[in-house]
Structure 1
Amino acid sequence: MSNPIEPRERTVSVRLMELVVAGMFMAAALLVMTDNWRIGARWADDGPQAGYFPFYVGLIMLIASSVTFVANLMVKEGRPSNFVARSELTRVLQVLVPAAVFVIAIGYLGIYVSAALFIAAFMAWLGRYPAHRIAPVAILVPLALFFMFEVWFLVPLPKGPLESWLGY
């Protein structure tokens, strides 16, 4: 079902997004096929080689995404439709951009300090919580995760300068 486009709400059409996603799937399928051909995607004397089945899964994915791509190239858009309204896109970006910053920060600050900053920023910015509610959550959640993963389960996660300073 397509949404009528209001001039001020125009972002990206459903057709364009389907072309982009189909193109990305085609690229992923070609990567899968190429890599599995390299490791062996043929039938050997003792049965299928390691890349045999993944190669054909990639081939099926390539065919399906190519059909979607070509079908969207050939279709004439009647009534223009929006993939997402500008207000909806803004809300998605309000989560996506800080999440990307969080992932990048993990490499420099470690996961626990980055998580504390991420939680505090979200609670302050989107939740509009006061500092006396933000501080305990932003400190205790990463601290609990630290003890759970590092101490109890012995699963090391990326650490930064603070953990190094504390001897971890």
Structure 2
Amino acid sequence: MSVDALPSAERGLSRRLVEIVVALALMGLAGLVLWDSYGRGAGWEGGPQNGYFPARVGWLLMIAAAFALISAVRARRREIFVTWEQLRQVARVFVPLLLFVLGVAYLGIYISSLLFMALFMLTVGSFRLWTVAAASVLVPLVIFWVFEIQFLVPLPKSPFVATLGF
């Protein structure tokens, strides 16, 4: 079935486009590996230099990605890789997780965990407000007690938590 004949709910990213983007991303990664390898020395002077083996892997990755790119560009199939609705469901999980990871650097792990759990439980789950409040406060407190107090393993903290003396 052609993409144009699909109902709007069944439309999304084509497999061909996804394959092209992934092949280009892999070629970019291979380029970075090669650039770094040759910067370290990728030759053989009395033995392999630091970048010798990574350069060989980089070239293999570049060649494989080039073949994948050529194959994707030449393909005439028009099948859907992922529908827009499926992509929205992935984004509902991925975007909050990305914000959590970025938040750890600025807010510390405890406050970021509290916000992540509360927002995720409210938006994705169907929990009562008291359950959200209890879980999002108690879990970071338990993690703090286990890691900071019991195991003496410091985790990233916000300036607010640091002012409490920990």
TM-score, length basis structure 2: 0.89
Residue in structure 2 matched with residue 49 of structure 1 by the alignment: 49
Q: 4+ residue runs of structure 1 moved beyond 6 angstroms?
A: none
Contact 2:13 2:84 in 1 (8 A): no
Moved more, 151-160 or 32-41: 151-160
Letter in 1 for 2:39: R
Corresponding residue SS for 1:12: strand
Q: Which runs of 5+ in 1 are unaligned?
A: none
Residue in structure 2 matched with residue 63 of structure 1 by the alignment: 63
TM-score, length basis structure 1: 0.88
Cα separation, 2, equivalents of 1:13 and 1:97: 22
CA displacement, residues 17-56 of structure 1 (integer Å, 9 cap, x when unaligned): 00001100100011011101111111121x1111111111
Distance 1:32-1:151 versus aligned 2 partners, 3 A rule: farther
Moved more, 58-67 or 156-165: 156-165
Letter in 2 for 1:95: V
Cα separation, 1, equivalents of 2:2 and 2:97: 31
Distance 1:154-1:32 versus aligned 2 partners, 3 A rule: farther
Residue in structure 2 matched with residue 120 of structure 1 by the alignment: 118
Identity across aligned pairs (percent)?
Answer: 42
Distance 1:100-1:52 versus aligned 2 partners, 3 A rule: same
How far apart are 1:148 and its partner, in Å? 3.1
Q: Which runs of 5+ in 2 are unaligned?
A: none
Cα separation, 2, equivalents of 1:150 and 1:87: 41
Residue in structure 2 matched with residue 13 of structure 1 by the alignment: 14
Cα separation, 2, equivalents of 1:148 and 1:54: 40
Cα separation, 1, equivalents of 2:115 and 2:152: 24
Residue in structure 1 matched with residue 75 of structure 2 by the alignment: 75
- Counterparts of 1:1-168 in structure 2, within 5 Å, are 5=3, 6-8=6-8, 9-45=10-46, 47-77=47-77, 80-168=78-166
Aligned residue pair count: 163
Contact 1:4 1:82 in 2 (8 A): no
Moved more, 13-22 or 115-124: 115-124
Contact 2:148 2:154 in 1 (8 A): yes
Letter in 1 for 2:111: V
Moved more, 57-66 or 124-133: 124-133
The alignment yields a C-alpha RMSD, in angstroms, of: 1.7
